[in-house]
Amino acid sequence: MRRFVVVLIVALMALTLVGCGGGAEEPPPAPEPGDAAAPLPPVVEEEDPDLSAVEEQVFVPFPVDPEVGVPSAIQSRLDSKQPMIILFYDDTQDTTEYQNEIIGGVLDKYRGLIDLVSFDVSRYVRQNEAGEITVDPAINEDELSKQVTRMLHEDNLDIRFTPFTIIVDEQAHVTWRYRGIADDKTLEREVLRVTE
């Protein structure tokens, strides 16, 4: 009896395998002349997130919001045509001290040619338990806070990462953007580009 059951199971498995796709499928018939072909469904490409430290380099006027304005430290340099490095950092990050040392070394070398304006964004934004960054509601009470958070916004400077460095030339154009730690050679090259 056991042999019969084993033979029956083996036979059923063989039939199942043959019926599951052992044969080749025939291609669909070619369309006849004059037949309308069915449109293909649109191909939807998923956009990969950009996780690199490379920012798209632009040459655009520094954005000044007509309603909120910009911090006076920036506006005075824009008005006097003084090139500047603008650094957005988070004082709670370990990278802040390292980036400040690099920028300090470049500024010492080119003292008087370019100024530094920096903002500790940890004063204006908070990170919740889910890791999402939100603007602190208390900013509505302070004009400088409103101006800094406006510069961070995606339709302004679009700062989503710290440290974030921007260089502005004497014509008030953004000439270089960098997220992450900018090395001294690259930073020096960009400073020379706007000051020579």
pLDDT, averaged per 10 consecutive residues of the chain (196 residues), comes to 57 57 58 58 58 64 90 95 94 87 94 93 71 64 82 84 92 93 93 91
**Can you give the pLDDT at residue 8?**
56
Contacts of 81 (CB under 8 A, 6+ apart): 170, 171, 172
Taken in order of first residue, the domains within the chain and their CATH numbers are: 60-195 (3.40.30.10)
The pTM of this model reads 0.67
Q: Given this model, what pLDDT does residue 144 score?
A: 85
In sequence order, which ranges of the chain are alpha helices (DSSP H)? 2-19, 72-79, 95-109, 143-152, 184-195
What local confidence, expressed as pLDDT, does residue 113 receive? 94
